Amino acid sequence: MLTAVTVLATLAFIGWFIYRAVRRRPLNAHTVAYALSCMAGIYTFTFFLSMDFLQLIKVVVSILLGAALIVVAAYLQRRRQPDKPE
């Protein structure tokens, strides 16, 4: 069901893009980026909902663990920087 909604949203975005081009209206970069990010979010949401529950938990835990390790590494790297010479 969500896959069909995602495909329809993608087709609507392409149609809107063509409509704006035919009318020769300017496209703002942030509007296009926002629409693309919304579609990517819907695709991601659909993909995660199609997984088994245990596999979904493993993916979420892996993402959170990766984010935590990035924060720790950035903290340690910032702490160990030598003083800048003047």
> Could you read off the pLDDT of 20-39 as tens digits, one per residue?
888 888 878 887 888 888 87
Q: Which of 42, 46, 49 is nearest to 9 (CA)?
A: 42
What per-residue confidence (pLDDT) applies to 82? 67
φ/ψ region of 52 (left if φ > 0, alpha if ψ in -120 to 50, else beta) reads beta
Q: How confident is the model at residue 13 (pLDDT cuts 50, 70, 90)?
A: confident
Q: Whole-model pTM? A: 0.49
Residue 58: give the domain boundaries. 52-86
Same domain, 11 and 31: yes
Same domain, 32 and 62: no
Strand (E) or helix (H) holding 2: helix 2-22
Whether the predicted pLDDT of 57 surpasses 70: yes
Same domain, 10 and 22: yes
Q: What is the mean pLDDT of the chain?
A: 82
Q: State how many domains the chain has.
A: 2
Same domain, 38 and 24: yes
What per-residue confidence (pLDDT) applies to 66? 92
Same domain, 2 and 42: yes
Same domain, 69 and 80: yes
